[in-house]
Structure 1
Amino acid sequence: MTGTDVRKETEDSGPGGYAAARLRLLTEGARSGPPRRAALSGLTDDWLAGLFDAAAGAAHGVSLVAVGGYGRGELSPRSDLDLVLLHDGSDPGAVAALADRLWYPVWDLGLALDHSVRTPAEARKTAGEDLKVHLGLLDARHLAGDPALTAGLRTAALADWRNQAPGRLPELQELCAERAARQGELQYLLEPDLKEARGGLRDATALRAVAASWLADAPREGLADARRRLLDVRDALHLATGRATDRLALQEQDQVAAELGLLDADTLLRQVYEAARVIAYASDVTWREVGRVLRARAVRPRLRAMLGGAKPVTERSPLAEGVVEQDGEVVLARAARPERDPVLPLRAAGAAAQAGLPLSLHAVRRMAATARPLPTPWPAEAREQLVTLLGSGRPTIEVWEALEAEGLITRLLPDWERVRCRPQRNAVHVWTVDRHLIETAVRASEFTRRVSRPDLLLVAALLHDIGKGWPGDHSVAGEIIARDVAARIGFDRSDVAVLSLLVRHHLLLIETATRRDLDDPATVRSVAEAVGSQSTLELLHALTEADALATGPAAWSSWRGSLVADLVRRVRAVLAGNAPDEPEPAAPTAEQERLAIEAYRTGGPVLALRAQTEPVPDEEPAGDPEPLGVELVIAVPDQPGVLPAVAGVLAVHRLTVRTAELRALRLPDGVDDDGTVLLLNWRVAAEYGSLPQAARLRTDLVRALDGTLDIAGRLAERDAAYPRRRGWTAPPPRVAVAPAASHHATVIEVRAQDAPGLLYRIGMALEKAGVRVRSMHVSTLGSNAVDAFYVTTGAGAPLPAGDAASLAGVLEETLRG
């Protein structure tokens, strides 16, 4: 059906014809994108014009005007109709009756309507008081009635906007900044708001408003395509959900991708991120230009008066060879020749980041268009300038984005293309892969005083996740890429080896510290063998912390930091030649003996809660110790079911377990020659709120052990109330045996979706299997639990290989059920 056919059907059939024609238009997949939006706007124009003509008759001094998105002809399937009924004020009663005859048919069809009835003077007055109203009038478009009335309002609104621009543009910029703070950045969000987030459709509209002011203009290259892409995604989202929504929720991304003919949801997100990045960068450049123009307007009259009418000369301060500062931006010197100086882009970027200034758009585009490619390997100056850029802290981000917007980053580092705008479907990560890499370099710049080779630290930070653009283990792929990149940018063979090792093992310390028994010599030896030297360990420690801090709040804590620091201390001792001693059962402390004796005499569990803190390091400013969690010590007479009972009670009380150790303690001589008490030393934290009292925990533990507390039922009630994402299924759990992880126990590693009672279910399965749990190490990242259990036979020996594999299978089957 052609646009002419649709409009003819509308004219012939009235509102019912419009509804049918609209439905047919929205279900014709071949008409998606700008053609469908234009056709939908035209169809709606004709219908509303028909309604107006039928209701207004020969009335004069009244017109129907489309504003906002409808005025721009950007109607998505569920968009509001933004309408103004404009009148000259001569017959208010007739205008009110006309409004009713226009608005009610729209409402009857279930269409969203944003409407107003105003005279031109009232419209201008309201626009002067409400910035959003004024923005809508900038896109005013005549639909029906008196065209002179519409044209007069449009001309006046544009004139008012241009006259008031010095005051209104700062107001608009503040509005954009507030919205960005509230909604976040579209180019990084897993469930972005296509309209409200920074880099979204609202910002694209704001750029049109700036251009309409004639005060400044946005970089136009790619901007129209970026806006079109976001509008196409919004169209598909409306059709997929049947709702007027701008939020691209996770459960709807596959359907939206299919609607657009894209491979998958990741491809969809990457296109959205690329579009948002174009709009966000254009916004940064535009608002910087607005500020420069407004400052110049404020200063220039005074300067000219001081200079007797002569034109003021703009100062240019040198920053580096071929690079100067001018008007708060970094520009190229007049004598700079990018076509002869291949290091100039990195030199300009390093100088800008060091000075905390933005790179001028003109300078970046000139370098992108004319700069010669760097030779391979890079000259020493180019490598040094890259390190300078990476080591400049927060200003690095804006400078890097400017280079990337004009294609300079992928020209310098071709492997960057695979991680550029790549989403990370993990709630722990708050950035895309490429931004995470830059964020890690920024964090690493804070630790350069801790290492002897800060250049290697910064480059490793930039490359540590470079393998995420390739299939398989990203650390393995990244090692290969990092070796190639490091050689290309001019590092010698030994430095290349260190960089590739850092990338290969960038997760080694955090995973070992949180998932392995640090008292087991096999743990420490395996890390020492992988790292190889004290200097590499130093670099890996700093990289580990920078990576975790750049990942997001859930990836690092004082507790994780303390575990990593403890592991590093032990590995450093091994690398210095001090092999770890074989572990011997530690003698119980006086408090542990007291608790054990009390548990034996009372025949029930005894608990003690104590806050644990980490002393402030000597090199940091003095202050209070930082809390690491709460130590929960439980002594209970040896009996079956202790582990699941304790885990279940803690889950019922919403306590998160971080680490746990279990061991049998013989009572001291003179108390009982054969008495054995189980001693559990757990580190816990409250999920939210304050910790429960030890007396309440003990009461529930007594009931759990004697079977009068229905832990399974209580946890099932919580599980039923646990929020779930509609249309989303968690990946299945995976349980595996970690070979050679310990000489004294079998290590079973469980990866599963975190949920209330997970440890209770695992404890029940281990109890039924008849194995003893020596210790367990719990690590939760976002919604993913990665727990390691050190288990032995009843005699305290590691499990035979066949039994270990069987146990892993039973655990996995239990968790799947």
Structure 2
Amino acid sequence: MSSAPDAAEPGMAAPSASRQAPDGPDRAPSIRTALAEVDASLAQRFDSEDNADIDRLLQARSAAVDAQVRLAWTDCIEAGAPLALFAVGGYGRGELFPQSDIDLLVLAEPDAQQHHAEALSRFITLLWDAGLPVGQAVRSPAQCTEAAADITVLTAMLEARPLMADIEHVHALQAAITPSVVWPAREFFAAKREELRLRHARYGDTADNLEPNLKEGPGGLRDVQTLRWMALRIVGTGDLESLVAIGQFGADELATLERERRALSRLRFGLHLVAGKREERLRFDYQKRLADRLGHSDNADNLAVEQMMQGFYRSAALVLRIGERLLQRFEEQIEGESAPVLLPDAGGAFELRRDYLAARSPQWPRDAHDVFALFAVWAAHDEIRGLHSQTARALAESLSRVPAFQQAEPALRERFLSLLRGPHPVHALERMARLGVLGRWIPAFARVSGRMQFDLFHVYTVDQHTLAVLRNLARFASGIVDERFSIAHEVWPRMRKPELLLLAGLFHDIAKGRGGDHSELGAEDARIFCSSIGLSQADTALVEWLVRQHLLMSVTAQKQDIADPEVIHRFATKVADREHLDTLYLLTCADIAGTSPKLWNAWKDRLLADLYTATRLALRRGLEHPVAADERAAETREAARATLASFGMADGEIAALYARMPEIGFQRGRPDQIAWQAASLRGVAIGETRVRARPVGQQAGALEVFVHTPDRDGLFAAIVATLDRLGLAIQQARVLDGPHETIFDSFEVIPIDPRFPPSSEDVESRLADMLAGPLDHVRPVRRAQPRHLRHFRIAPQIGFNTLGKRAGDCGRVRTMLSLVCTDRPGLLADVARAIRDQSLRVHDARIATFGERAEDVFQITATDSDGCETALDATQQEALRDALLACLEGEH
């Protein structure tokens, strides 16, 4: 229905600015006042009544609007006029939320439409003047049939409720849109099911979005309404209770669906109150206020907003689960049942009905063994459409027969382990989770079902993130090379027991929300579970270690210098052997990529691959023989020399190029990087500038940028600001001092907007132009802070540590600055400028962003009166702290 006052259908004049009936009262103010009083009363009831009946509130608002609409009608439409007025859409259902549209249908023949056009225009104008968001259509029965070719229009009319109409008009409207005239049941069902599929796809086929749409999103109110519309068209009644009587719907299913519909309706009602406007998306702007309005309060484990959102996610999951069953039953009613096909390898217990897996016995399941057997057969026949609705209902009704693993007999634990070792184990776990079995079997998993974290880093609920991690592991196991993960397909075949890695993925975040270190708590859960299902002590220890250390590789790669042999040695010591390294690497890749679609990138892929390779070599060498810096440099020199020689360079030219490069670069750089930088210096005189950029990894727009230029104050800040202006986000920066007072800076960058990545040539040109002029004029670009970041304020944390042997050892000591704060556009450029303004120099930088949280590390030095680079003293640290705080608070 249209929501604009000037969108009248043919046969109706557009409403004027403020017309009213001749000699009639100015009804608009009184309607506005009356409805405002009703809305205030309903809001008070919503806030003050414990578990206020949401249906009564919706019906009360609908009834109040009915009364005012009828008054407006009698004011504007003369008695006896051949016109009928219907409420349609949500208003027709009698479900009127505080900011819902008022959708109306005027039924009249064309000549009556023309004759009463001015009166109808006054009627609609009056309602708009009264503040009602009216959407209207004026149609004859024949025009209703014509308009119903659009299934959305038909759907609105299906719920038509007479406001000012006699029985003849009601029958005329019903006859105009009957299935024998337009949209027969089969076509209606197919179209609505496709509409539902496309709508779900728009929201990523998941209800577990950070800002879910309560009305249109998967598992939202529109899903419930769609089931009612289908019932109305297929069965002839929109009352789902009638489906219970004819065996289409279980009483327990109806009770669950109605309970969750009311929960979703209460959220939507409250959202409209909090937003003060028509809003269906549960945005960050409203989540905290709505949680408070609904009576949630923070506790030691969960924030109030997290409690509210967990309730939503669980409601949506149940709506989806029940809706899937009812859709299948509608399909069966339309198409009829086909002859079942026995599955001979299922021991006679299961068959296919219309390609859905079904239990043959009406008494299924007798116990949990039957339930686990179902998932084993399903995994063995992974190509089937799904679970038959009758079997799905029987499973739901018998969930109480599935014991927690600690109370289960050994044979049942062995059945579960066989699922992990059988075909398609991740599909089996996903299905068990979706159907509620996994939460019964592992109670800790049920506790994190729908559990969200109020931040931008974890974009999925804990259970959905866990399943995403398992799906990533399944991709590694498939043997299909995924270019996003450069070496995962090489590592997976060495898995001794893949089920151990799956268990680690299942338990790695299972202790979220309990307070304390979730890695430690989860490791204890994993140890108990693995011991209970009969894993050996060694296998149990591996799973426990993986859960406890599942963040180790990520933190090491992103926050430490993995080109430092000491860092590699410490990491290798913790890993200890190849099996632990292989499994931790795969789990880390799967975990990062399963946290957010935007989190995994070429830079992280290469970081983890480099750390994996370096650690593997350290383990092969033996931990008692750590690689010395000089040895590492010599190996890098020779490997890079071989590459340069393949380019046709003679040893003398290579030696000359090496002499112009910083020694520490050979200790910290990769051979391919050293060769690339050395080749870039060919033909460049001492004191000249050279900028190069090259693609890295498989991510579009990801670049490695190399800058060689004479050193001068403010250089790092100017380069960072220019890259920021180019729309590039820096992931890692290495700033090295070369001979002849030159710098060798390297930057790993990715495009801020992947749709518009700058080319390598553009990056080289813009940086070279900037470096050719004065640096003082280079300022960070100013961008508006994204809306979602405004709701996640992190108090800045600034720390200093001295790196090196002695504070007076010139050139050998540095200060490590660690900064944790709220991320925002241009943050790094502003921080770099603050460091520059304190006359400090940056030597190394690691940039890590986790949702709204920036965690950056810099190695910096000051210059003393003798020109020696030193660590920062207490006064300099305090001055830098003040400058950074001012910068972060926008006072720069």
TM-score exceeds 0.5:
yes
**Deviation at 1:328?**
1.6
Mapped contact 1:251–1:726 kept (Cα < 8 A) = no
Mapped contact 1:660–1:777 kept (Cα < 8 A) = yes
Alignment of 1:667-686 (within 5 A): 675-686=740-751
In the alignment, the residues of structure 2 paired with residue 638 and residue 63 of structure 1 have an alpha-carbon distance, to the nearest angstrom, of 83
Q: CA 1:594–1:684 in 2, change beyond 3 Å: closer, same or farther? A: farther
1:350-406 Cα shifts (integer Å, max 9, x gaps): 322442332234324434444352534753533324415894456754x235422xx
Alignment of 1:197-236 (within 5 A): 197-214=217-234, 219-236=253-270
Does the residue aligned with 2:589 lie in a helix, a strand or coil? Answer: helix
Pick the aligned partner of 2:885 from 804, 813, 817: 813
**Deviation at 1:266?**
2.2
Residue 258 of structure 1 aligns with which residue?
292
Alignment of 1:340-359 (within 5 A): 341-356=367-382, 357=384, 358-359=386-387
Report the residue type matching 1:255 in the other structure: R
**Deviation at 1:769?**
6.2
In the alignment, the residues of structure 2 paired with residue 777 and residue 330 of structure 1 have an alpha-carbon distance, to the nearest angstrom, of 52
In the alignment, the residues of structure 1 paired with residue 426 and residue 146 of structure 2 have an alpha-carbon distance, to the nearest angstrom, of 47
In the alignment, the residues of structure 2 paired with residue 75 and residue 725 of structure 1 have an alpha-carbon distance, to the nearest angstrom, of 29
1:330 paired with 2:357, answer yes
Residue 10 of structure 2 aligns with which residue?
none
**Deviation at 1:168?**
1.5
In the alignment, the residues of structure 1 paired with residue 826 and residue 73 of structure 2 have an alpha-carbon distance, to the nearest angstrom, of 64
Does the residue aligned with 2:604 lie in a helix, a strand or coil? Answer: helix
In the alignment, the residues of structure 1 paired with residue 294 and residue 699 of structure 2 have an alpha-carbon distance, to the nearest angstrom, of 51
Mapped contact 2:707–2:746 kept (Cα < 8 A) = yes
Does the residue aligned with 1:552 lie in a helix, a strand or coil? Answer: coil
1:84 paired with 2:116, answer no
1:108 paired with 2:129, answer yes
Mapped contact 1:604–1:702 kept (Cα < 8 A) = no
Report the residue type matching 1:682 in the other structure: F
Pick the aligned partner of 2:796 from 727, 730, 733: 733
Mapped contact 1:599–1:635 kept (Cα < 8 A) = no
269-278 or 537-546: bigger deviation: 269-278
Residue 249 of structure 1 aligns with which residue?
283
Mapped contact 1:737–1:746 kept (Cα < 8 A) = yes
Residue 855 of structure 2 aligns with which residue?
786
Does the residue aligned with 2:694 lie in a helix, a strand or coil? Answer: strand
**Deviation at 1:494?**
2.7
Mapped contact 1:606–1:698 kept (Cα < 8 A) = yes
Residue 484 of structure 2 aligns with which residue?
none
Identity percentage of aligned residues: 26
1:632 paired with 2:705, answer yes
**Deviation at 1:72?**
0.6
Pick the aligned partner of 2:575 from 513, 531, 535: 531
In the alignment, the residues of structure 2 paired with residue 286 and residue 388 of structure 1 have an alpha-carbon distance, to the nearest angstrom, of 33
In the alignment, the residues of structure 1 paired with residue 329 and residue 428 of structure 2 have an alpha-carbon distance, to the nearest angstrom, of 18
In the alignment, the residues of structure 1 paired with residue 318 and residue 859 of structure 2 have an alpha-carbon distance, to the nearest angstrom, of 51
Alignment of 1:498-537 (within 5 A): 498-537=542-581
Residue 690 of structure 1 aligns with which residue?
758
**Deviation at 1:294?**
4.1
**Deviation at 1:435?**
0.8
Mapped contact 1:747–1:790 kept (Cα < 8 A) = yes
1:417 paired with 2:446, answer yes
Pick the aligned partner of 1:700 from 740, 748, 770: 770
**Deviation at 1:272?**
2.2
Report the residue type matching 1:278 in the other structure: L
**Deviation at 1:79?**
1.1
Pick the aligned partner of 1:50 from 38, 46, 71: 71
Residue 820 of structure 2 aligns with which residue?
751
Alpha-carbon RMSD: 3.7
Mapped contact 1:63–1:145 kept (Cα < 8 A) = yes
Does the residue aligned with 2:512 lie in a helix, a strand or coil? Answer: helix
**Deviation at 1:98?**
4.3
Residue 461 of structure 1 aligns with which residue?
505
In the alignment, the residues of structure 2 paired with residue 254 and residue 500 of structure 1 have an alpha-carbon distance, to the nearest angstrom, of 36
TM-score, normalization: structure 1? Answer: 0.84
Mapped contact 1:162–1:214 kept (Cα < 8 A) = no
In the alignment, the residues of structure 1 paired with residue 731 and residue 711 of structure 2 have an alpha-carbon distance, to the nearest angstrom, of 23
Structure 2: runs of 5+ lacking an equivalent: 1-24, 47-53, 236-242, 298-303, 478-491, 638-653, 663-677, 806-811
**Deviation at 1:116?**
1.5
Mapped contact 1:69–1:75 kept (Cα < 8 A) = yes
Mapped contact 2:414–2:533 kept (Cα < 8 A) = no
In the alignment, the residues of structure 2 paired with residue 187 and residue 445 of structure 1 have an alpha-carbon distance, to the nearest angstrom, of 23
Does the residue aligned with 1:555 lie in a helix, a strand or coil? Answer: coil
Corresponding pairs, count? 762
1:403 paired with 2:472, answer no
Report the residue type matching 1:296 in the other structure: G
Mapped contact 2:305–2:454 kept (Cα < 8 A) = no
Residue 12 of structure 2 aligns with which residue?
none
Alignment of 1:86-485 (within 5 A): 86-87=107-108, 91-127=112-148, 129-154=149-174, 157=177, 159-160=179-180, 164-185=184-205, 187-214=207-234, 219-263=253-297, 264-296=304-336, 313-321=339-347, 322-334=349-361, 338-339=365-366, 341-356=367-382, 357=384, 358-370=386-398, 371-373=401-403, 375-376=407-408, 378-379=410-411, 380-387=413-420, 391-393=424-426, 397=430, 399-404=431-436, 408-448=437-477, 449-450=492-493, 451-485=495-529
**Deviation at 1:147?**
2.9
Mapped contact 2:188–2:233 kept (Cα < 8 A) = no
Residue 675 of structure 2 aligns with which residue?
none
**Deviation at 1:232?**
2.1
Q: CA 1:411–1:392 in 2, change beyond 3 Å: closer, same or farther? A: closer
Report the residue type matching 1:731 in the other structure: I
Residue 22 of structure 1 aligns with which residue?
35
**Deviation at 1:812?**
5.5
1:608-662 Cα shifts (integer Å, max 9, x gaps): 3141546xxxxxxxxxx87794333323334443332332333333333232222
Alignment of 1:761-780 (within 5 A): 761-767=830-836, 773-780=842-849
In the alignment, the residues of structure 2 paired with residue 626 and residue 49 of structure 1 have an alpha-carbon distance, to the nearest angstrom, of 61
1:761-795 Cα shifts (integer Å, max 9, x gaps): 43345456676544222223444332222446779
Mapped contact 1:513–1:564 kept (Cα < 8 A) = yes
Report the residue type matching 2:796 in the other structure: P
In the alignment, the residues of structure 2 paired with residue 608 and residue 441 of structure 1 have an alpha-carbon distance, to the nearest angstrom, of 42
319-328 or 262-271: bigger deviation: 319-328
363-372 or 173-182: bigger deviation: 363-372
Does the residue aligned with 1:470 lie in a helix, a strand or coil? Answer: coil
Q: CA 1:460–1:807 in 2, change beyond 3 Å: closer, same or farther? A: farther
Q: CA 1:482–1:735 in 2, change beyond 3 Å: closer, same or farther? A: farther
Report the residue type matching 1:690 in the other structure: P
518-527 or 639-648: bigger deviation: 639-648
**Deviation at 1:196?**
2.0
**Deviation at 1:140?**
1.4
TM-score, normalization: structure 2? Answer: 0.77
In the alignment, the residues of structure 1 paired with residue 881 and residue 439 of structure 2 have an alpha-carbon distance, to the nearest angstrom, of 46
1:329-353 Cα shifts (integer Å, max 9, x gaps): 22224287533x4232233123224
Mapped contact 2:28–2:129 kept (Cα < 8 A) = no
Mapped contact 1:658–1:779 kept (Cα < 8 A) = yes
**Deviation at 1:519?**
2.1
Does the residue aligned with 1:462 lie in a helix, a strand or coil? Answer: helix
**Deviation at 1:810?**
5.4
Does the residue aligned with 1:777 lie in a helix, a strand or coil? Answer: strand
Mapped contact 1:240–1:256 kept (Cα < 8 A) = yes
Residue 643 of structure 2 aligns with which residue?
none
1:154-202 Cα shifts (integer Å, max 9, x gaps): 3664554898011111111112222222244462122222222222222
In the alignment, the residues of structure 2 paired with residue 704 and residue 400 of structure 1 have an alpha-carbon distance, to the nearest angstrom, of 64
In the alignment, the residues of structure 1 paired with residue 830 and residue 687 of structure 2 have an alpha-carbon distance, to the nearest angstrom, of 23
Residue 94 of structure 2 aligns with which residue?
73
In the alignment, the residues of structure 2 paired with residue 753 and residue 741 of structure 1 have an alpha-carbon distance, to the nearest angstrom, of 30
Structure 1: runs of 5+ lacking an equivalent: 1-11, 301-312, 615-624, 667-674
Residue 305 of structure 1 aligns with which residue?
none
Mapped contact 2:91–2:102 kept (Cα < 8 A) = yes
Does the residue aligned with 1:117 lie in a helix, a strand or coil? Answer: strand
1:388-444 Cα shifts (integer Å, max 9, x gaps): 5894456754x235422xxx3321111123211122444344422111101111111
